[in-house]
Structure 1
């Protein structure tokens, strides 16, 4: 690998940008393909990024190997509630680096969330530090506008690939009114999955966590 390619690849990784290293197998020629570019193999590269798997593509110049370098997957869960106790380990097992955000220290404890990163700050401060990117899912679970709304404001201003918020249709309607008053339009607000999770008739905290994890996975993989 040439030094300039290696330096740019390292810069992309440091900046948490997805990138594909394309190698023409017959010649060893290499180039980097980023999201939103216009490379001849742009569609194939972006499909490899979404699937998070390398691929070999046939071209007139011979086979090209697409090696994917994605930032780590992250899930930011706002609210150290019962659903989070099930969702956090599920997300970890699925490959996510999980953070629980909740300033209520009686709820956000290592005993309730063993092995999970706990951030006992207000969500707006935590989100400023965490910088959600296109490999980040944000899930708010508190039902408390003082906690959920600042997190949603930050998530809607980011490239987070998934934003979900717990609450009934009525609760979400009030949330929409608050977000509109904060300056968000229907397009932005439409990014929020609410009520959160797939409609599988979930009732218990564990079932709701399963429905959320399913919806997050569908969003990540581009499923309908």
Structure 2
């Protein structure tokens, strides 16, 4: 079995928890932050890179900020690698801005379709630690070929990002 790698794209509070908890789950955690000045926003102890690392078929990538100007370029670079899974955090009630950003960069529709959104299990998560737990639980369910409760339905309750 090859090494499981978890790449969090962009330094955010969610990325910090995602990488910390991911390490506990057996992932090698890596932060991909194109803006080196922002990398300090995530606690130390993880590999931090400013360009997309080499990603193999056992790498899972989670984009933790869908509002960054670099979203399209960063995601395009990730999609050029043979990662196992790529997802973008965001509210499922709103269209994902990554689609327009990737289309503007002439990324083929088949590549855009590789991007999962929403990500994580629908547990009503709201805080960065909860979002990280929901995301990692979803990745584990997917890796283990389990349904994991990904369905998002409109209700009075909140939706998982």
TM range (shorter): 0.7 to 0.9
Residue aligned with 2:55, SS? coil
What is the aligned counterpart of 1:178 among 73, 94, 101?
101
What is the aligned counterpart of 1:188 among 103, 111, 134?
111
What is the match of residue 4 of structure 1?
none
**Could you report, residue by residue, the CA deviation over 1:124-146 in whole angstroms, capped at 9, with x for unpaired residues?**
xx11xx22111101111122343
Instruction: Give, in angstroms, the shift of residue 192 of structure 1.
Output: 1.3
Instruction: Give, in angstroms, the shift of residue 106 of structure 1.
Output: 4.5
Q: Please give the TM-score of this superposition, normalised by the length of structure 1.
A: 0.58
What is the aligned counterpart of 1:153 among 68, 76, 85?
76
Q: Please give the TM-score of this superposition, normalised by the length of structure 2.
A: 0.78
Q: Which moved more, 1:203-212 or 1:183-192?
A: 183-192
* CA root-mean-square deviation: 2.1
- Which consecutive unaligned segments of at least 5 residues does structure 1 have? 1-69
Say whether residues 1:100 and 2:26 are aligned partners. Answer: no
Q: How many residues align?
A: 146
Instruction: Give 1 or 2 for the bigger CA radius of gyration.
Output: 1
What is the match of residue 91 of structure 2?
168
What is the match of residue 27 of structure 1?
none
The higher relative CO (CA closer than 8 Å, separation ≥ 6) is in 2
Give the number of the structure whose residues are more often helix, by fraction. Answer: 1
